[in-house]
Amino acid sequence: MIHWRLGLFFVSIHLCYAADPIWYAQPAQEWEEALPIGNGRLAAMVFGKVEEERIQFNEESLWSGAPQDADNPNALKALPQIRQLLFEGNYREAEKLTYENLLCKGPGSLCGKSAEADFGCYQTFGDLFLTFSNEGDVKNYRRELDLNTAVVRVTYSIEEANYTREYFVSAPDQVCVIRLSCDKPGKISVTARLSREEKASVCNEGSDSLVMKGHLSQLDFLAKLQGSAQKGTLTATDNTLIIDKADSVTLRLAAGTDFKEKSHEKIVAEQISSAAQKFFSQLMNAHIHEYQTYFQRAELHLEGPDLSTIPTDLRLQAVKEGAIDPKLLAQYFQFGRYLLINSSRPGCLPANLQGKWAHLIQTPWNCDYHTNINLQMNYWAAEVANLADCHVPLFDFISELQIPGERTAKIHYDARGWVVHHITNVWGFTPPAEDARWGLFPAGSGWLCQHLWEHYAFNEDLPFLKWAYPILKGAAQFYLDFLVEEPKSHWLVTSPSSSPENRFYAPDGKKYSVCNGPSMDRQIIWDLFIHTSQAAKILNTDLEFAGLLDTARSKIAPPQIGKYGQIQEWLEDFEEPEPGHRHISHLFALYPGHQISSGKTPEFARAARKTLERRLEHGGGHTGWSQAWIINFWARLGAAEKAHEHLNALLSKSTLPNLFDSHPPFRPHTKPLFQIDGNFGATAGIAEMLLQSHEGAIHLLPALPSSWPKGYYKGLRARGNIEVDVRWENGEILAAHLRPFKTGKYIVRFPAKNHLTSANPAAELHPLSEDAIQISMQGGKEYVLIFNALIP
Ligand code: FUC
């Protein structure tokens, strides 16, 4: 019996592999319906229009703006007085002085409208338009994104001819490739042109290429399009490529800026000439092979009705109307992985507010890096979803923020170390931005550092920890200097600060944001200090410094429980004008932090639940990312049905037709905006429902909802450098495969109704309780735990 189940498990995993394509029966009319492709650096959106095809494209470094000195020397002079006023409870004066002195010099981010100012913004590179001259009725139209190969395919028929278009962005060849073909000869007649709304011009180069060149304040940029046709003719005019009566056409598009490489023109030219020498099939095979080295590491299958013949937008619509579609959720998980792979490969910049897909000149919120939730959420799934290498761009970015962050620490606070506040950009902006309500968030750097530690916790990579340690240390040093003793409570607090984007009612009945020691700051610094100290001990270095961190940590106020039984958002139990606020910052300690957990701090976990219930009673979760965070909170609390409810809510309320996450309009009369954090946050949330590992144990199916009775996952990762597969049926585990990469003892937890029947190969097992065992395993081996098997 055991072996039979085992055999089936191995076989079926391989037979079942393949994520369903995302597909549509019509072209995209709006950008939010188009399909994303990318290679981490280049990104494109394919509309799939039959007559006038549009491929909007991006290159990650195309930013306006410039490096600037926005650190404010007035800050330091005003600091003691602001602190004193806050200690005295004079929020009005403290906030006034903060606005006058403590924020950045200059206009900051211009409230997200900085295309023409120094802060700058990430921008569209341009569009490739393809005008076809095929006439006749279009039949059998289909536009799909194949997640298994990262290829978009558009197929349709006109009269007796069947047309196929394929689009992908290759990482090995660093070009976007488009192939137009037909099963009848001579049918491809198309005119290609490149365009950009501003600051660029296009001309032809030789007989088969177009070049678009432009300049932004700090950057030169260039894109090159090259075409080749099988049969027919191809000519280049001033700014178009004209192809007439070809059997098939291959277009290659490369783009770059001189952000890093002054020789970008040469690099782009080489990329095009190298790709032009390769057959389409060679380019495609290399692309698929490289992409699959990431994508194929993890699978998720949730049993449900097979709705693969229904277009994705209609399935999404059905979910909006209350349908339960587990397979769409599994696909959404894989789509999240797809987006991370294609917006954050090693060597690239990290994924910004829209990953790398952005079609405007003035992008929403400058499409920058917000560090009070959004940038971090982009990477929540990276480790657990087995894409640790896609996390690396964030680490490189953090490392580069140290230098400007040191300057800000010194000038604003006369502190050692480095600090990043709420927003940053590719030019290294680190001071508090122009509005204290959201800009004054000195815990940004602390939160970013959590990612360095988590990468270590998952992979136990000592050379990485050695590399990361000085960054952690510098961040911790900043807070050691920045923390002050609050005279009433004698706790150490950040001062001045704010709880991300929220306000409280002070005793004078007025609303303020500037305060001492908001909970999120305390929780982040607690996390940073404990991990930096642990890192020092693991590396056997700086033990005295580790001791200082341990002492300081014990003086940071722990979470406080307020009058509603909630975790307080502020040190004082203030009332808040917006109790349903989208930021739920004071639950950082529950997720992504570990300070609060049901197992170790049940009282705080109960208060966290109350906090969440109260936020939701007042309408919380109204942005995609907020909803995604809520999924993770519920999963951490083991509330499977709630997590599932909010996952469905995210699909129903905050998901665009192309499965991009949406954020409600932030200016009147505009549309919902694409913001990628919700995609990544919900992807992490799905993983968090299926596997957790934050309490020193690997927890199998910690929040499995009743509507996922049967399924399997393969290749998720847990802290402790281990890969986990689980298969379940009727809500009960059948088998778990554990592949540790190191030798050691692991604790495995499972829902109490499951019974562990055996382990193979015979492993040293110690039952710890009815729902936990300790197991000694050797690195490099696979261990199979069989549950609930019928024993004769
Ligand atoms: C934070 C959030 C907003 C939005 C913006 C990009 O400021 O409060 O909702 O996500 O980032």
d(CA 527, CA 519): 12
Q: Name 763's Cβ contacts closer than 8 Å, sequence gap at least 6.
A: 775, 776, 777, 783
Q: Can you tell me the distance from the alpha carbon of 386 to that of 378, in angstroms, rounded to the nearest whole number?
A: 14
pLDDT of residue 13: 37
Question: What pLDDT score was predicted for residue 238?
Answer: 85
| Burial (Cβ within 10 Å: 0-12, 13-18, ≥19) of residue 198 | exposed
Distance 314 CA to ligand 1 centre (A): 29
The ligand 1 atom at the shortest distance from the C-alpha of residue 112 is 6
Contact by Cβ (8 Å): 348, 687:
no
Residue with the nearest Cα to atom 10 of ligand 1? 374
Distance 421 CA to ligand 1 centre (A): 14
Ligand 1 binding pocket includes 374 (Cβ within 6 Å): yes
Give residue 371 CA to ligand 1 midpoint distance, Å: 10
- 454 and 55 Cβ atoms separated by less than 8 Å: no
From 121, 434, 663, mutation site for ligand 1 pocket: most ligand atoms within 8 A of C-beta? 663
Find tokens 């230098």 and name the residue. 403
345: tokens are 């490969």
- Looking at residue 761, what is its pLDDT? 78
Close Cβ partners of 204 (under 8 Å, ≥ 6 residues apart): 210, 211, 236, 237, 238, 239, 240, 241
271 alpha carbon to ligand 1 midpoint, in Å?
37
Backbone angles phi, psi at 786, to 5 degrees: -100, 130
Closest CA to 638 of 615, 618, 617, 608: 608
Beta carbons within 10 angstroms of residue 702's beta carbon? 25
663 Cα–ligand 1 center, Å: 9
CB-neighbour burial class of residue 289 (10 A; exposed 0-12, middle 13-18, buried 19+) = exposed
Q: Distances from the Cα of 2 to the Cαs of 308, 729, 759, in angstroms?
A: 33, 15, 10
Determine contact, residues 523/559, Cβ cutoff 8 Å: yes
Closest CA to 642 of 623, 620, 665, 673: 620
- Which atom of ligand 1 lies nearest, measured to the CA of 500? 8
Whether ligand 1 lies within 6 angstroms of the CB of 422 is answered as no
Does ligand 1 lie within 6 Å of residue 353's CB atom? yes
Q: Average pLDDT for consecutive 10-residue bins of the chain (792 residues)?
A: 31 53 98 98 98 98 98 98 98 98 98 97 98 93 98 97 98 98 98 98 96 97 98 95 98 97 95 97 98 98 97 98 97 98 98 98 97 98 98 98 98 98 98 98 98 98 98 99 96 98 98 98 98 98 98 97 98 96 98 96 98 96 94 98 98 97 83 96 98 97 98 98 98 97 97 89 87 95 90 52
DSSP symbol at 88: T
Asked whether the beta carbons of 551 and 492 are under 8 A apart, the reply is no
Report strand pairing: 698-700 vs 744-749.
parallel
CB of 224 closer than 6 angstroms to any ligand 1 atom: no
Q: Count of CB atoms within 10 A of residue 136's CB?
A: 10
What is the rounded CA–CA span in Å between residue 677 and residue 370? 10
CA of 370 to the centre of ligand 1 (A): 7
What letter does residue 668 receive in the DSSP assignment?
T
What is the helix (H) or strand (E) element at residue 692, kind and residue range? strand 691-692
**Is the distance from the beta carbon of residue 663 to the nearest atom of ligand 1 less than 6 Å?**
yes
What pLDDT shows up at residue 5? 31
Question: What is the rounded distance in angstroms from the CA atom of residue 496 to the CA atom of residue 413?
Answer: 11
47 C-beta closer than 6 A to ligand 1? no
Expressed in angstroms and rounded, the spacing between residue 624 Cα and the centre of ligand 1 is 10
Looking at the CA of residue 364, tell me the nearest atom of ligand 1. 6
Q: Ligand 1, residue 372: give the atom nearest the CA.
A: 1
Residue nearest to atom 8 of ligand 1 (CA): 501
Of ligand 1's atoms, which has the minimum distance to the CA of residue 623?
Answer: 9
Contact yes or no for 475/424 (Cβ under 8 A): no
Cβ contacts of 173 within 8 Å, gap of 6 or more: 271, 274, 275, 278, 283, 286, 287
501 lines ligand 1 (CB under 6 A): yes
Distance (angstroms) between ligand 1 centre and the Cα of 655 equals: 16
- Confidence at residue 16, expressed as pLDDT on a 0 to 100 scale: 42
Of 114, 122, 352, 373, the residue with max ligand 1 atoms within 8 A of its CB, to mutate for a pocket test, comes to 373
Residue 262 Cα to ligand 1 midpoint, Å, equals 34
What pLDDT score does 283 carry?
98
Is any atom of ligand 1 closer than 6 Å to the C-beta of 365?
A: yes
Distance 677 CA to ligand 1 centre (A): 10
Q: Which atom of ligand 1 is nearest to the CA of 353?
A: 6
Residue type at position 416 = R
**Model confidence over 34-68: pLDDT tens digits?**
999 999 999 999 999 999 999 999 999 999 999 99
Helices marked H in 344-389: 374-378
With H, G, I as helix, E, B as strand and everything else as coil, classify residue 456: helix
How far is ligand 1, taken at its centre, from the CA of residue 502, in Å? 12
**Token digits for 326?**
């587990």
Rg (CA), the chain: 27
**Integer Cα distance of 358 and 353 in angstroms:** 9
Block residue for tokens 């990579």: 461
Q: What angle do CA 177, 181, 185 make, to 5 degrees?
A: 145
Distance, CA 500 to ligand 1 centroid (Å)? 10
Whole-angstrom distance, CA of residue 316 vs CA of residue 322: 10
Probe target for ligand 1 pocket from 119, 501, 581, 667, with the most ligand atoms within 8 Å of CB: 501
Question: What is the Å distance from ligand 1's center to 185 Cα?
Answer: 52
Does the C-beta of 371 come closer than 6 Å to ligand 1? no
Largest Cα span, the chain: 84
- In this structure, what DSSP letter does residue 461 have? -
379 lines ligand 1 (CB under 6 A): no
Q: Is 438 in the pocket of ligand 1 (CB under 6 A)?
A: yes
CA distance 81 to 285: 64
Q: Which amino acid is it at 77?
A: K
Is 141 buried (19+), middle (13-18) or exposed (0-12) by CB count in 10 A? middle
The alpha-helical segments, DSSP class H, found in 277-355 are 280-295, 312-320, 326-343
3-state secondary structure of 767: strand
Using an 8 Å Cβ cutoff, are 766 and 727 in contact?
Answer: no
What distance lies between CA 530 and its chain's CA centroid?
Answer: 25
- Residue 211: Cβ-neighbour burial (10 angstroms; 0-12, 13-18, 19+): buried
pLDDT at 665: 83
Q: How is residue 525 annotated by DSSP?
A: H
Q: Which atom of ligand 1 is nearest to the CA of 677?
A: 10
Q: Give the CA count within 13 Å in the CB-facing half-sphere of 213.
A: 10
| C-alpha of residue 480 to centroid of ligand 1, in Å | 28
List, in order, residues 6 or more apart from 662 with CB less than 8 Å away: 32, 624, 654, 655, 656, 672, 673, 674, 675, 678
Give residue-wise pLDDT tens across range 629-661. 999 999 999 999 999 999 999 999 999 999 999
Which has the closest alpha carbon to 729: 788, 641, 785, 784?
788
Nearest C-alpha to atom 9 of ligand 1 is from which residue?
623
Helices (H), 52-120: 74-87, 91-97
Rounded distance between C-alpha atoms, residue 356 and residue 103, angstroms:
29
Q: How far is the CA of 652 from the centre of ligand 1 (A)?
A: 20
Ligand 1 atom closest to Cα of residue 422: 7
Question: 323 alpha carbon to ligand 1 midpoint, in Å?
Answer: 30
